[in-house]
């Protein structure tokens, strides 16, 4: 039977792929986002699939709006992704806390009132600070975030735990790191995807960080959220997600191998997040998850960008400065 899912922030990157997966399998996604801009959904979904999607424009900082939207949706499963990313939280920590912490509390309050089955929410690998940590970190490693964003995500994990203790509200927090693929156009670690887009357009691009990161293909990330929404056991769980731990140099090389000219370079500081996540816990509890090899994910992303470019539908607003530098 078709299920309804209430997804906050679903006009964004990860949300768009979750909505696509739900619509493709015949379920009913309800998108709750403060943005009405559906360009990411349009980039990856066919019109007939988009017809299955219901849109509610609203802000997670407004608890009344979230509560009434969730109740109206009739959803029993909530996927909470809405939030501000690292640069926005750094530029304005107060606004960051308002959206990422208070907004998340509003989603949990609304889920509690609506009596939903489970909330799956985006935490982040940014709860682990320090790019110098080389060995894979599991969930038992003490979190020491190096960004306000990471602190807010860690706070959300604590609040989720208390909602389970106080009200029996089930939840799963997932900690992705560098998600890549079509629609990854914002945030500290979005440069590799921007580089893929630039390369497809024949435009040089410099990835502005160096060192290793945990690189995760967006369809795999979306699948992990759905697997948890559909079948996690009762409790308040938090899991790392893991893709492939790779050096930025290798990412640049793989992109360059897919183009005629070497267009992608890199350089800059390390990402202030542990680069290797141990995902044994989620595999133990939820089961095996899809894991797309780096070469395959990069090729598929560049293929999709090429297809969009040829159809005149490639959104290039995220790499405007690189494009204008060559024109």
Ligand X SMILES: NC(=O)c1ccc[n+]([C@@H]2O[C@H](COP(=O)([O-])OP(=O)(O)OC[C@H]3O[C@@H](n4cnc5c(N)ncnc54)[C@H](O)[C@@H]3O)[C@@H](O)[C@H]2O)c1
Binding site for ligand X (CB under 6 A): 8-9, 11-15, 33-35, 59-61, 81-85, 99, 103, 122, 124, 176-179, 184, 186-187, 189
Q: How far is the CB of 228 from ligand X (least distance, A)?
A: 13
Q: How far is the CB of 152 from ligand X (least distance, A)?
A: 9
Rounded to the nearest 10 degrees, the angle between the axes of helix 191-200 and helix 248-257 is: 20
Token code pair at residue 67? 């509560």
Q: How far is the CB of 82 from ligand X (least distance, A)?
A: 4
Looking at beta carbons only, is 71 or 259 nearer to ligand X?
A: 71
Residue nearest to ligand X (CB): 12
Q: How far is the CB of 102 from ligand X (least distance, A)?
A: 9
Neighbours of 244 (CB within 10 A): 19
Q: How far is the CB of 261 from ligand X (least distance, A)?
A: 28
Looking at beta carbons only, is 44 or 81 nearer to ligand X?
A: 81
Residue with tokens 């739900």, as numbered in its chain: 22
Q: How far is the CB of 199 from ligand X (least distance, A)?
A: 20
Provide the pairing of β-strand 244-247 with 212-217. antiparallel
Cβ contacts of 108 within 8 Å, gap of 6 or more: 119, 159, 160, 163, 169, 171
CA distance 64 to 291: 38
CA distance 150 to 273: 9
Looking at beta carbons only, is 124 or 316 nearer to ligand X?
A: 124
Looking at beta carbons only, is 122 or 254 nearer to ligand X?
A: 122
DSSP string, 71-84: HHHT-SEEEE----
* Ramachandran area for residue 325 (φ above 0: left; ψ -120 to 50: alpha; else beta): alpha
Looking at beta carbons only, is 35 or 259 nearer to ligand X?
A: 35
Looking at beta carbons only, is 152 or 266 nearer to ligand X?
A: 152
């Amino acid at each position: 039977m078709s299920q309804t899912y209430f997804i906050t922030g679903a006009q964004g990157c990860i949300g768009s792929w979750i909505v696509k997966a739900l619509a493709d399998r015949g379920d009913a996604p309800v998108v709750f986002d403060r943005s009405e801009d559906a360009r990411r959904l349009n980039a990856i979904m066919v019109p007939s699939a988009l017809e299955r999607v219901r849109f509610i424009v609203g802000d997670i900082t407004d608890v009344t709006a979230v509560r009434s939207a969730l109740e109206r949706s009739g959803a029993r499963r909530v996927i909470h992704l809405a939030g501000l990313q690292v640069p926005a939280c750094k530029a304005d920590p107060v606004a960051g806390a308002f959206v990422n912490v208070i907004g998340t509390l509003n989603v949990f309050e609304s889920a509690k009132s609506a009596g939903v089955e489970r909330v799956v929410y985006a935490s982040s690998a940014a709860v682990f600070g320090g790019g110098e940590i080389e060995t894979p970190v599991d969930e038992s490693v003490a979190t020491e975030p190096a960004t306000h964003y990471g602190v807010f995500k860690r706070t959300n994990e604590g609040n989720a735990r208390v909602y389970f203790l106080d009200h029996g509200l089930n939840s799963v927090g997932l900690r992705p790191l560098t998600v890549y693929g079509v629609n990854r156009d914002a945030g500290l670690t979005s440069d590799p995807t921007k580089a893929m887009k630039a390369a497809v357009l024949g435009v040089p691009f410099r990835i502005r960080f160096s060192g290793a990161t945990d690189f995760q293909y967006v369809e795999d990330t979306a699948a992990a959220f759905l697997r948890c929404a559909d079948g996690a056991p009762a409790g308040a769980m938090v899991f790392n997600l893991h893709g492939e731990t790779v050096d930025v140099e290798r990412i640049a090389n793989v992109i360059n191998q897919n183009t005629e000219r070497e267009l992608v370079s890199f350089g800059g500081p390390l990402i202030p997040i542990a680069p290797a996540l141990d995902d044994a816990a989620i595999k133990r509890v939820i089961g095996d998850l899809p894991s797309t090899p780096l070469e395959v994910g990069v090729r598929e992303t560049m293929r999709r960008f090429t297809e969009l470019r040829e159809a005149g539908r490639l959104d290039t607003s995220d790499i405007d400065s690189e494009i204008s530098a060559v024109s």
